[in-house]
Structure 1
Amino acid sequence: MSNSGEQPNPYAQQPPQPPQGPAPQGPPPPPSQVPQQHQGAQSPQSPQAANPYGQPPQPNPYAQPPAGYGYPAPHGAPTMSGGAPVGAPGSYGGAPAGASGGGKGLPAWLWAVGGAVVASAVWAGVVFSTGGFSGEPSPDLRGYAYKADLCGSTSWAPFEDARYKMEDSSTSASAGENPTASGHQDSALDSMWCNADLVPEDAGSDDYSTNLVYTKAFLHKKTDPGPEFAAQYRSYEEQESSTDYKVTPVQGIGDEAYLVSRQESTDSKSTYVVLGVRDGWLTYETAWSSYSSGNSADRPSSEEVADMLRTSATETLKKLKS
């Protein structure tokens, strides 16, 4: 025992002692004997009291920081694919770079929707300004123009070379002007026709002969005739009648062309040949129909008529562009 008269501080820190058995139990000292804490000192019962063993305080591994912008989400909070929490930077729900914090910035999905709306509005404006929503495709007329007098644009040279001429109007089968032209213009379709009666130059007075050439042209302005053009001529082969027709594709005229020939017997006195041509949205057709009471050897064959029609069509289409 010291003779200095000083009382030992019962709360002074002591170096750790090896355990000597259970500490004696006794009643706590009266409050009057507990020394007052120095101002600013922490209560021994406070969770942040000084560690009596001299170890630095350890962080609580289970403490959760407040969730918010820039912090990971608490345990159990909803996250996006890859583990990023909803609302975290870099996730689909986070605010874009440059957006104000504190909940004032718009979510990224709202920015994406807004951008899509603006892009759609720009696209719709361009389409409207160019007529994209009009529902009317632009006609591919290839430079062809309407002619009120299709007969004046028809090439008759191949028939003249085969020694045919225009029949006099007073004796023609049409009993009127020969050749005869007509036409009609419309916002959807321009139509042109020409009919002519031809006679052999060396026909005798006792021979009865009629040779008709029908020509027509159409400028389609609203509907593309391409998908249905071939079917119009192929249908000749499917007709259920006593007359057989042969349909042959023709190369070198327009986008597509078909020649239709009626199969005739050797003693037949009639010939029927049709040539149909499509070039873009223009369709053109010329047909030969003839009957003669004279010698069949003097009449042109179906092959010869087909050559005349093909040559005439090629030259006529050139004139319809001029």
Structure 2
Amino acid sequence: MISDPELDGTGETRPAEPAEQAEEPPPREGEAGARRPWLWALGGAVIASALWAGGLYAFGDRLAAPELSYRATENLCQDFEARALGRIAGDLHRYRPRNQYDDHPAVRRAICSLQNGESISTLTVRAQVDLHRKTDPGPEFGVPSAWFSPEVGAVRTEEVRGLGERALLAVGPREMSVELKVLHGGAVFTVEATGTGGEQSTRADTAALRAAMVEDARALLAALKK
């Protein structure tokens, strides 16, 4: 604020001195340091929210319930006729076919175990159907099966075209074991065959065995199609 001019001893006016500006009080000790972590925390929360939203967007298909176009079955051996495999090893349903069924909230599972002999068999076959209700089984589909865990490095795997969305055929060591896995939406079909009739005879029949497994798996998908 500017005050009125004053008179000096000579009668002349003397300009008033300008009013002193108020100085800002210095920041309190630790005040600036306290603001910065708060700003960093706010920025971190924003970044974390953005990453979380991006993650949900990226994994939206993974978190969504997969499409299931196949029905469940409590008696898989009834639907898995194994006619092609039977032409190789004889009637596989003759010797006490065994069924297993588990209606879990995440995965509905059915298993059928077959063999071509009562006490001694030269071929054992196991068919399994997993209907995934919660998560998409696609990302883990190519993981090697635990069925071959003792000698995973010796397993040969190849793609089978024209069966489901994706199909993998794996041949174990010495060609004594063969596994066929088929993926279609949230359904995973598995057919496993193990020969016990001797290494030479099993090798000779490997090509026919693989072809029969593909044929029987295709028939099983058709039988369980909704």
SS at match of 1:165: coil
How far does residue 209 in structure 1 lie from its aligned partner after superposition?
4.0
Aligned twin of 1:261:
171
Local SS of the residue matching 1:254 = coil
Q: Is the 8 A contact 2:99 2:113 kept in 1?
A: yes
The answer for unaligned runs of 5 or more in structure 1 is 1-134, 170-177, 200-207, 265-269
8 Å Cα contact 2:100/2:111 also seen in 1: yes
Q: Distance in 2 between matches of 1:279 and 1:286?
A: 15
Query: Contact 1:189 / 1:220 at 8 angstroms: preserved in 2?
Result: yes
Higher strand share: 2
Indicate how the Cα distance of structure 1 residues 165 and 317 shifts in structure 2: closer, same or farther if over 3 A, else same. same
Q: Which amino acid aligns with 1:303?
A: A
Query: Deviation per CA, 1:180-235, whole angstroms, max 9, x where unpaired?
Result: 11112132211100001114xxxxxxxx6431101111100001000111123599
1:158 matched to 2:158: no
Q: Which residue of 2 aligns with 1:36?
A: none
Partner secondary structure for residue 292 of structure 1: coil
SS in 1 for 2:74: coil
Mapped to 2, the partners of 1:218 and 1:275 lie a distance apart of 14
Name the structure with the higher helix share: 2
Inter-CA distance 145–301: structure 2 relative to 1 (3 Å threshold): same
In 1, the alpha carbon distance for the partners of 2:146 and 2:72 equals 28
CA gap of 1:263–1:301, structure 2 versus 1, over 3 A, is farther
Alignment correspondent of 1:274: 179
Partner residue in 2 for 1:314: 218
Q: TM-score, normalised by structure 2?
A: 0.63
Whole-angstrom CA distance in 2 between matches of 1:255 and 1:234: 22
**CA shift at 1:305, angstroms?**
1.1
User: The residue matched to 2:215 in structure 1 has which SS?
Assistant: helix
CA distance in 1 between partners of 2:204 and 2:81 (Å): 19
Equivalent-residue separation in structure 2 for 1:317 and 1:188 (angstroms) = 21
Q: Residues 252-300 of structure 1, C-alpha deviation per residue, up to 9 Å, x if partnerless? A: 1111111000242xxxxx721000110001001000001125x944875
Q: Which residue of 2 aligns with 1:182?
A: 100
CA distance 1:180–1:235, change in 2 (3 Å): closer
Measured against aligned partners, the alpha-carbon deviations of 1:122-162 in whole angstroms (never above 9, x if no partner) come to: xxxxxxxxxxxxx9623211x20110001101032102222
2:112 counterpart residue number? 194
2:65·2:135 contact (CA, 8 Å) conserved in 1? Answer: no
Partners of 2:147 and 2:190 in 1: CA distance: 15
| 2:127 paired with 1:223 | no
Show structure 2 runs of 5+ residues with no match: 1-61
Q: Which amino acid aligns with 2:181?
A: G
Query: RCO (CA 8 Å, sep 6+): is it higher in 1 or 2?
Result: 2
Candidates 107, 123, 128, aligned match of 1:211: 123
Distance 2:151 2:87 in 1: 34
CA distance in 1, matches of 2:66, 2:107: 11
Match of residue 208 from structure 2? 304
Aligned to 1:231, what secondary structure does the other structure show?
A: coil
Residue 251 of structure 1 deviates from its aligned partner by 0.6
Structure showing greater Rg: 1
Alpha-carbon RMSD = 3.0
